[in-house]
Structure 1
């Protein structure tokens, strides 16, 4: 796969109570990814950027919420979330202190 595309796949880590729970119990990390990303691309991107071994990838398409802005109604954008399972012994630490 094109390395330039792999560097654009992951947008940000998704931090929430559920993602913290999943990280502790199942050795998984949650990322916000571009909407047209595939599971093999996500796996390769994580392995390239963080130098870890990925066991599996699960993808969720999150529907945007309908919101009200004053008297008008709007809608948040849809987005894609990836749960990345890491092999035993591998870990991604976003709070690395130098």
Structure 2
């Protein structure tokens, strides 16, 4: 397990049509560090966005895609996504409010 600080855990928010629909039920999607655990993701969200309380965290490990460049074949890096469910009395995350 890596020694990650809370500001290293969350890399960027993921904004797609599906993730925008999930925001209605207080679920937010983030790209996270591949070594981050669910407890670290929960701690990072609560520290980075004041007033939020995390109910649960679902994570998805995604393998890299195969890419070709002529005869050479390679793979893109592995990634990890986290879907964070906030409690009902929690404040919304401000990053997504203007979208």
TM-score w.r.t. structure 2 length?
Answer: 0.84
CA distance in 2, matches of 1:44, 1:95: 19
Runs of 4+ in structure 1 over 3 Å off: none
- Give 1:45's aligned residue: 44
How many residues are paired up?
93
Residue segments in structure 2 that go unaligned for 5+ positions in a row: none
Q: TM-score scaled to structure 1, two decimals?
A: 0.85
Please show how residues 1-80 of structure 1 align to structure 2 within 5 Å: 5-24=5-24, 26-51=25-50, 52-80=52-80
Unaligned runs of 5+ in 1: none
Tell me the CA shift for residue 95 of structure 1.
5.1
CA RMSD, 1 decimal: 1.7
